[in-house]
Amino acid sequence: MEKAVRKTLNANQLKLIAMAAMTVDHVTWAVFPGYRTDWYIILLHIIGRMAAPIFWFFVAEGYHYTHDVKKYTLRLFLFAIISHFAYTFAFGIPFVPFRTTVFNQTSVIWALALGLVSLSIVENPEIKQWQKTILIILIAVIAFCADWSSIAVLAITDIGTNRGNFKKQMTRMMIWVAVYAVVYAVFISPVYGIVQMFTVLTIPLLKMYNGERGKSKNMKWLFYVYYPLHLVICGIIRIALNGNIGVLIGG
């Protein structure tokens, strides 16, 4: 019975959950700018913490299942470029990076694409270990400016390299999230630093993953359309309710 309960969600269903959680989080930023600590706003952002780990997990799964890693990587980078403009519009961040700060200068898709590159490097037996270490550090630095920063890269890498060991995957992921939470608490907001730790709520959902994609073969295309579209809508909401202001750090 326990095994059946754990294996009831396919990839498409988990991605839809992630998209819903992401939407709640992003709309909350657009409606309630800044790092407000009203209980209902914090609750909405806690719901939003359930999105990123699912996307990290399935980038790593995508690496395992794809027939063409290079094509998959190129698609993510192209998507990252497109999403950059939607992301900055959504949250009132300058299109040209680093005009305000180093935080949140582009969307999480940039970090996801770099995470895929990092995983490809680690899994490549032709690259020496010392070279892998240097390259991963370099990639993490390049990803620092994105939403979820270097942590997305490192989480994807550890999730992918520990495939088949769910406990180790999640333990390593939460270690990186804890690092992110500390940085968030020190440089942005102590309360929102604690909020990042609620990514742990995603673990029971991922534990229910049955290893199947689901009936629809076009879910990835739905996400590619939905992600920038919902960000544009968030930008419109932001301007309509609050004017052309930045609603989070980076803006």
Task: Note the pLDDT tens digit of each residue in 15-36.
Answer: 999 999 999 999 999 999 999 9
Is 7:208 a contact under the CB 8 Å cutoff? yes
pLDDT at 81 over 80: yes
At 218, the pLDDT band (50, 70, 90 cuts) reads confident
Average pLDDT, the chain: 95
Q: In a 3-state reduction of DSSP, which class is residue 99?
A: coil
pLDDT exceeds 70 at position 3: no
CA 221 to CA 224: how far, in whole Å? 5
H-only helix segments in the chain: 2-6, 11-31, 39-48, 52-65, 69-91, 108-122, 129-143, 149-161, 166-187, 190-196, 203-207, 219-242
Residues in CB range of 159: below 8 A, 6 or more apart: 56, 57, 60, 169, 172, 173
Dihedral pair phi/psi, residue 212, rounded to 5°: -105, 150
> Is 211 in a helix, a strand, or coil?
coil
The reported pLDDT for the residue numbered 1 is: 40
Q: The pTM is what? A: 0.94
Q: What is the largest CA-CA distance in the chain?
A: 55
For the segment 35-63, the average pLDDT, to the nearest whole number, is 97
pLDDT at 6: 55
pLDDT band with cut points at 50, 70 and 90 for residue 4:
very low
pLDDT of 2? 43
